[in-house]
Structure 1
Amino acid sequence: MKNNFPLSEKYIDFINTTENVDADFLEGTTASGKTTVGAGVKFMLMVSKSNKKLHIIASKTTGTAEKNIIQQDNGILDIHKGKARYCGNGDKDYKIPHIKFEDKIIFVLGYDNKEKWKLVLGSQFGCVYIDEINTADIEFIEEVSTRNDYLLATLNPDDPSLPVYSEFINRSRPYKKYKDDVPKEIIEELKEEPVPKWRYWFFTFYDNLSLTDEDIEKKKRSAPKGTKLYKNKIQGLRGRATGLIFSNFERKHNVIIKDQAKKMRFVQFTAALDTSYSQKSPDTFAMSFQGITDNKELVMLDEEVYSNKDLTVPLAPSDIAPKFFKFLEKNRKEWGFARDVFVDSADQATIMELKKYKRHNPNLYNIVNSYKKFEIIDRIHTMLGWINTDGKIYYYVVDTCKEHIREMEIYSWKEDKYEPEDANDHTINSGQYGWIPFRKMIGNYKEE
């Protein structure tokens, strides 16, 4: 094997970890060497060790695989010169593109062409490599994942709401030795039920020893700071790269811990409820509790979310009422009293149940219809100004409000209209219902 590039200790450990591993997922910054080391070294080593004849390399198209994985400098043909031979047009035995390596056949597939890959996936395979798995057809991933002994996949950080994360990436776990290398934001995402022997690796520029300090700085300068491109490519953090609404929301600026919030002086508390009873969508019931400080800052202090999609016995309006009042009381004791609580005005059934519950369980809360004449675009523009304007921040989220943070990082515009998608917005809507009546107390708000 030819090796013209130096390997970091982490990459050496990655390559040498061949026992007790069924899948490796490699995420991280651009130019970190994931494809070179993943496909060219570890994958080919696993193919060599496999007792099966047939294997797969999958990329967006066969042309992409040829350019980025097989034929480039330090690609598979370069690293395994004389041992690997590429039959781009197939041959008499196998009609589709493939690599002959030792006594093995590695099919080269494009996951953009369902008709072609469905013809191949009738067998069991030894090793499967999926390039940029975050862009792959989820049906292809699901199909091929059950047909291999070993899976290796690379990806650049993307929209964390994509099903590939919950179904695959987030079910893997990092080795203890390298857990601290994984950004905290991503560690918090690795929360699905883990699969034994599925390993997660996070690589950055600094793991690619072929890059000089000057090379790294040049790459960092290539994307403007504060943009989602910078977040994805340079920091290696997840988040939708295009169409994001709250693109100026950053955890390091807008997310605080509870102890920080406890030191703030609050002059107003407000709470709200957004509802969805669907069992067919991931929509949620979203309860929010917020405070406004004497410095005109809005702080999301607490949230509670439920989804009927996840429940065997779905929640009805009569179930939501006691849960919401319990949520209000919990926060009254911890933070303070929110006399007026705002509920989605489109859901009169829930409002009626809340009022009925109050009659049977007297309390001091006023159930108020949400005010929707302050339209969604105006709400978004207002929040954008609070989140960060020239370094001045009026919008904070306590780090335990994980669903709200998730929504802030993926809530997006429709591709063809200047309006937001009807998704990933339930704690956002709930929060808006809560702050709209008090918006003049926040930031430098001015009524236009």
Structure 2
Amino acid sequence: MNKPAPLSQRQYEYMQRCMISWFNVAEGGKRGGKNVLATLIFCSLLETHKNKIHLVGGVSNATAKLNILDCDGYGLLNYFEGRCREGKYKDRDCVYVQTKTGEKVVLVSGGGKDGDEKLIKGNTYGMAYITEANECHQKFLKEVFDRTLSSSDRKIFHDLNPKEEEHWYYTEILKFHEEQQDKNPNYGYNYGHFTLVDNMSMTDEQIRKVLSTYQKGTVWYRRDIKGERAVAEGIIFRKFAENNEPYLYDEDTDPLFERDIKGKLLHRPSKITMGIDFGGNGSMTTFVLKLYFHGYHDLRTAEETNLELSPDIDAEAICSKFIEFFKYCQEKYGFIEWVFPDSASTTMINSLRSAARKAGLPYRNIKGCRKNEVSDRPRTYDMLMNTGRWKINRNCTKLRSAIGKLKWDPDHPGIPEDKNIGNCNDWWDAENYTILDFIEYVDLDRR
């Protein structure tokens, strides 16, 4: 069994309050030890709880398993090592646990979508631990509250990373319980705030390494490091907008672009991808080429091109420009492994495949890009710029201009504004499409 690091004073005090509180919320920055702490408390109480059935959940089933059952080697499976087994309970994923007071069943459920609340109906849960609670659906969280009402010792645990102050989780859930706690000190609401300095397993060197991936003053620094409920506002990449020189490269001076006497790259890219955002109705069709060096560590946006604005999508013109751009890029840089157009337009994707096949070019590697949370994309690029892992060819003037103009949406905090001024969103989308299918590897590779 792996033993977690000692608790910080704040973690210890929070743990003590959990013993007498029914609703326990651990919020704060990344790497603050919230999962390990909440899992430790949940497991210790499970040992003697009188109820047989309990629940762990997250935005998805996989998230619940990763954050609670595994939890970097300190999860429920580790705590009950030799006394538990994964299985099914009424066709639902679960863990059977042998405790000091008999066998317990811990159901595992996803709760990120409307309708997921149906997955947890029919049972009374003694305790429930929901990770990344503010990413889950309101109906799911409400059902969790309802399904624990008749518990012999009601305990609900939430952990979460901060959102903007007006997020529904704060206004529709926490605000009520905070008010009740203020009216009655014995109400049973327990709140703890933690940052990476509370994580006693991290060395000073590890903390410095994490801090180096963030730019001070950004919304991500305030949320992930300081654990604040920060609102995103104004220009997204302000440092880039003020001076993008540190984020540019020239092929003549960048050592990654050394060529032999035949003009071939000496340093072969690990991967080459192309992103395409389709235009029409005031939008511009944009093409962006991305080179990956040293796995996912050094990224270079090498080329850009576009079609002029048109009121409708001109399939023939788009296919013609695609073939021209593809041939040019492949001749200059090497085999293009994937082409990722906007997945929303299956008709245009099929047209590109047909055009590529007729031109004798690879066509099976043309597929709609995978989608992810729009709010996650700026954070990834901020990390890449701050660590020097992503640079743009100086000649990509339109993409450079677009990234410098990108603003936060004042009505939807955390995502870029979609006014598309100067077609900045068209270029931003094409750039994102080059990376979305591999974004988890890019985020993990922070050497």
TM-score w.r.t. the length of structure 1 is 0.48
